[in-house]
Amino acid sequence: MEPSVDEGIVELSRLGRLSATSCLVDAPEFAQSAATLKDLPIDLGLHLNFTESLGLPGLFLPHGKLVALAYTRRLHVAGVRRQIDSQLDRFERHVGRAPDFVDGHLHVHQLPVIREALVDALVRRYPKARPWLRNTTPGTLDPALPFMQRFKPRVIAALGAAPLFKLASLAHFKFNSGFLGVYDFERSHPPYPVLLDAWLRHATPGMLLMTHPAKRFARGVAFGTDRVEEYRTLSGEIFAALLATYHLKVSRMTTLAEP
């Protein structure tokens, strides 16, 4: 995405504070970054992208328009399939293996048309060892959190979490058991350590906590100040203390027992 983000992810992975990272494979620096990623003790996944062209041709639309076309079943199915295969091809080419999981930029992997094409592609390409899929169904949202910081996770899930889970479960895919870490950057929100405490106090086995770290502030990167605060919290003693308080461990989804 950007060197400051990439560096933050790498350092947190080496510290054992992250268990996975999603790869925006069409980003200009991905080919170079993949060599570093392959040596990290984390799951590597495809961050399926239908909204950011990054200078490449393809089916890239503003998020609102993409959602509208998906829900009216007006997305070009062949184009969706080509784009999924193209991004999976690029991941395999630079990482040297299949992704451990698939999620979506702005959670587009769960939208109608896209989710069906994605499940079909993964079944076809990986019949013996399928990647796990991101389930955006929220974990328990602490009532102490501001309303809008509890509302956004539910909106994300409403865009397709349940249908994706039902569809992919029939094909025996694995999922995280719940989803935490969503907050509205654009609205007033508690400091990140307070948010983290509110999420982790309700964490259960197999739950996924989404993060957006960056080692330093970089102009042009959205919500850079929040990203730096996430990095500082996750790399420091606050995160370690919260894990100890709630008897939690950062683990790779691929190492967890069958659900």
CB contact burial 174-206 (16+ within 10 A = b; e otherwise): bbbbbbbbbbeeeeebeebbebbbbbbeebeeb
Containing structural domain, residue 77: 3-255
The pLDDT mean for the chain works out to: 94
Structural domain total, the chain: 1
pLDDT score, position 222: 66
Q: How far apart are CA 137 and CA 134, in angstroms?
A: 9
Beta bridge partners of 43: 20
* 184-213 mean pLDDT: 95
The model carries a pTM of 0.94
- Are 169 and 132 in contact by the 8 Å Cβ rule? The answer is no
Which residues fall within 8 angstroms of residue 158, CB to CB, at 6 or more apart? Answer: none
Helices in the chain by DSSP H: which ranges? 3-14, 30-37, 63-71, 77-95, 114-125, 147-158, 161-170, 192-200, 224-235, 237-245
Give the CATH number of the domain where residue 221 resides.
3.20.20.370
Which residues fall within 8 angstroms of residue 167, CB to CB, at 6 or more apart? Answer: 115, 116, 119
pLDDT score, position 259: 43
Antiparallel, parallel or unpaired: β 132-133 and 101-104: parallel
Q: How confident is the model at residue 216 (pLDDT cuts 50, 70, 90)?
A: confident
pLDDT digits (tens, 9 = 90+) for 53-74: 988 899 999 999 999 999 999 9
pLDDT digits (tens, 9 = 90+) for 71-119: 999 999 999 999 999 999 999 999 999 999 999 999 999 999 999 999 9
Lowest-confidence region among 21-25, 163-167, 254-258: 254-258
pLDDT digits (tens, 9 = 90+) for 229-249: 999 999 999 999 999 999 999
Q: What percent of the chain has pLDDT over 70?
A: 97
Q: What tokens does 121 get?
A: 């592609």
pLDDT score, position 1: 73
Q: Say if residue 220's pLDDT is above 80.
A: no
Q: Would you call 252 exposed, middle or buried from its count of C-beta atoms within 10 A (0-12, 13-18, 19+)?
A: middle
Q: Would you call 141 exposed, middle or buried from its count of C-beta atoms within 10 A (0-12, 13-18, 19+)?
A: middle
